[in-house]
Amino acid sequence: MNANGTTGTRLYFATDLRAADRCFTKFLSAASTYDAQVLVLGGNLTGTRMAPVVRHRAGEWRAVLDGVPVELCTDREVAGFERRAADVGAYAFRTDPDELAALDDDPAAVDALFHRLAAERLRRWLELAADRLPEDRVRLFVCCGNDDPTALDALIDDSPAALLTEGRAVELDDRRVLVGVGYSNATPWQCERDLPEEELAQRLATALDGVERSGAQLVLHTHCPPYDSELDSAVVLDEELRPRTEAGQEIVAPSGSTAVREVVERYEPVLSLHGRALESRGYVRLGRTLAVNPGSEYSDGILRGVLVDFDTDGVAHHLLTSG
């Protein structure tokens, strides 16, 4: 029996951690904090920035984090900076002025370095999950997001600590299956997993094939929220990726997927879990479906999530969490 008196599975979901170590550590702790048997980690797992730590002279390093320049005089100070950067989702790496100048002139090398650092961060997270989560009591499901390199799927699939849900129906408990799709409708950033709505609809259909016939309750996890659901409000950007304004106010509009909305309305999952629109934290009822976007404040080290208790009929209780 769970703390609120409900018998059955308890699930904790968080998303858009953006490589922030502090939030991921809190996410793993949610299993014991909330007595959850299932953890679901959504994309985007990848960070958005690198923080070079530049060696200028023996015993002197310089770096910048959140616009603040720092000088570091010992290896201990450098290691402390690297931890602070990782806590807020930045990829710190040690370099020198010549190497940094070479990177400035070689976008392909920058891209390769970024992908390597992203893979290293995720690999370390998965190792930490294997070490901290009790294998016999907590299951971890992971799905990437539209801004995550596709190569990360293989790391998750190879991990003994996690189950990759991308494009699959996996057993969540004896009554429910979980289907994950991290691909997204098109965004202004033209991310690696952005797709036209027609292709996203086909990917969703393939992932959900056979779910109706199974008779199991469906828990759907798509990184992008359903279109015009109140979980997908986002600032409209112009061609230069700057916020569009009207009368001095930023214009906000739905940014979600029509394909996801159609799937939710057709399959009526008992629960649908979403992310991407970080500011649209909340939950709504779409027919019989409880749809949730817990939002994210990864850059402040705050873990946003949702706690869900299931019973025989579906969702018994849910609670948005922050900490």
Bond preceding residue 44 cis, omega within 30 of 0? yes
CB 247 within 8 A of CB 300: no
What is the helix (H) or strand (E) element at residue 25, kind and residue range? helix 21-33
CB 169 within 8 A of CB 215: no
Q: Tell me the three state secondary structure of residue 287.
A: coil
With pLDDT > 90 as the criterion, what percentage of the chain qualifies?
Answer: 89
CATH label of the domain that carries residue 40: 3.60.21.10
Whether residue 22 is found in the same domain as residue 56: no
> Hey, what's the torsion of the CAs at 81, 83, 85, 90, to 10 degrees?
140
pTM: 0.94
Residue 83, pLDDT > 60, answer: yes
Which are the contacts of 274, defined by CB distance < 8 A and separation ≥ 6? 15, 42, 221, 222, 223, 224, 225, 226, 231, 232, 256, 260, 291, 292, 293
Query: How many domains does the chain contain in total?
Result: 2
Backbone angles phi, psi at 213, to 5 degrees: -70, -25
Instruction: Tally DSSP H helices, then E strands, for the chain.
Output: 8, 22
CB 148 within 8 A of CB 46: yes
Q: Give the chain's largest Cα–Cα span.
A: 67
Phi/psi-derived region of residue 82, left when phi > 0, alpha when psi is between -120 and 50, beta in every other case: alpha
Whether residue 234 is found in the same domain as residue 221: yes
- Torsion 262-264-267-268 (CA) sign: negative
For residue 4, the model assigns a pLDDT of 44
Per-residue pLDDT reduced to its tens digit, 190-227: 999 999 999 999 999 999 999 988 999 999 999 999 99
Whether residue 62 is found in the same domain as residue 101: yes
Whether residue 275 is found in the same domain as residue 205: yes
5 domain residue, yes or no: no
Where helices occur in 141-294 by DSSP H, the ranges are 152-158, 197-208, 211-214, 258-267
Looking at 58, 86, 110, the residue that finishes a domain is: 110
Whether residue 38 is found in the same domain as residue 60: no
- Which of these, 222, 219, 207, 218, lies nearest to 258 by C-alpha position? 222
Domain limits at 253? Answer: 10-46+114-322
Per-residue pLDDT reduced to its tens digit, 255-313: 999 999 999 999 999 999 999 999 999 999 999 999 999 999 999 999 999 999 999 99
Whether residue 288 is found in the same domain as residue 255: yes
- Mean local confidence (pLDDT), 3-20: 83
